[in-house]
A = this chain, B = another copy of it.
Amino acid sequence: MLIVMEMNADAKRIGAVVEAVERRGLKAHPIPGSQRTAIGITGNIGTVEPAMFQDLPGVLEVIRVSHPYKLVSREFHQESSVFDVAGVRIGGPELVVMAGPCSVESYEQTLGIALKVKASGAHMLRGGAFKPRSSPYSFQGLGRQGLEILARVRQETGMPVITEALDIDVLDEVAEFTDIVQIGARNMQNFTLLKRAGRCGRPVLLKRGMSATITELLLAAEYILDAGNAEVILCERGIRTFADHTRNTLDVAAFPAVKRISHLPIIADPSHAAGYRNKVLPLSLAALAAGADGLLVEVHERPDEALSDGGQSLLPTDFEELMSELRALAPVLDRGLPTLAVT
A-side residues, CB < 8 A to B, are 2, 4, 6-8, 29, 31-36, 38, 40, 42-46, 49-55, 63, 65-66, 68-70, 75, 132-137, 140, 166-169, 186-187, 189-193, 195, 209-211, 213-216, 219-220, 222-223, 226-227, 239-246, 249-257, 260, 273-274, 276-279, 282-283, 285-291, 303-306, 309-313, 325, 328-329, 332-333
Q: Are B310 and A49 in contact (CB under 8 A)?
A: yes
A23 to B304, CA, bound (A): 12
Task: Find chain B residues with CB under 8 A from A241 CB.
Answer: 239, 241-242, 249, 251
How far is B195's CA from A209's CA once the two chains are assembled, in angstroms?
A: 21
**Distance from A326 Cβ to chain B, minimum over Cβ atoms (Å):** 10
Residue of B40, B75, B278 near A256 (CB, 8 A) is B278
Q: Which residues of chain B are within 8 angstroms of A216 by Cβ–Cβ distance?
A: 134
Bound form: Cα–Cα A66–B35 in Å: 8
Instruction: Check B279 against A243 for contact (C-beta < 8 Å).
Output: no
Question: Is there an interface contact between B45 and A34, defined as CB atoms closer than 8 Å?
Answer: yes
Which of chain B's residues have a CB closer than 8 A to the CB of A311? 49-51, 54-55
Residues of B within 8 A of A239 (CB): 241-243, 249
Task: Name which of A75, A250, A274, A332 has the most chain B CB atoms within 10 A of its CB.
Answer: A332
A94 to B: closest C-beta gap in Å: 18
Tell me if B31 and A191 are in contact (CB < 8 A): no
What is the bound-complex CA distance between A135 and B223, given in angstroms? 7
Q: Is the CB of A213 within 8 A of B244?
A: yes
In the assembly, what is the distance between CA of A45 and CA of B329, in Å? Answer: 42
- Name the contact of A190 in the complex, choosing from B46, B167, B290, B304 (C-beta under 8 A): B167
Asked if A286 contacts B290 (CB within 8 A), the reply is yes
CB closest chain-B residue, reference A53: B304
Majority SS at the chain A contact face: mixed
A254–B245 CB distance below 8 A: yes
Residues of B within 8 A of A278 (CB): 55, 256, 260
Task: Check A279 against B306 for contact (C-beta < 8 Å).
Answer: no
Residues of B within 8 A of A63 (CB): 2, 63, 65
| Pairs of residues from A and B, 4 with the lowest C-beta to C-beta distance, nearest first | A51-B311, A211-B211, A51-B310, A167-B192
Q: Are A42 and B53 interface neighbours, CB within 8 A?
A: no
- Indicate if the CB atoms of B277 and A55 lie closer than 8 Å: yes
Cα A246 to Cα B290 with chains together (Å): 14
Contacts of A325 in B (CB 8 A): 332
B289 touches A136 (CB 8 A): no
Contact yes or no, A279 B304, CB < 8 A = no
A237 to chain B, nearest CB (A): 13
Q: List, in ascending order, chain B residues with CB within 8 A of A223's CB.
A: 136
Interface centre among A38, A51, A274 (most CB of B within 10 A): A51
How distant is the Cα of A240 from the Cα of B243 in the complex, in angstroms? 10
Q: Is the CB of A289 within 8 A of B285?
A: yes
Query: For residue A169, which residues in chain B have a CB less than 8 angstroms away from its CB?
Result: 168, 192
Of B226, B279, B290, the contact of A257 (CB 8 Å cutoff): B279
User: Contacts of A256 on B, CB cut-off 8 Å?
Assistant: 278-279, 282-283
Cross-chain contact B277 with A283 (CB below 8 angstroms): no
Q: For the complex, give the distance between the alpha carbons of A51 and B251 in Å.
A: 23
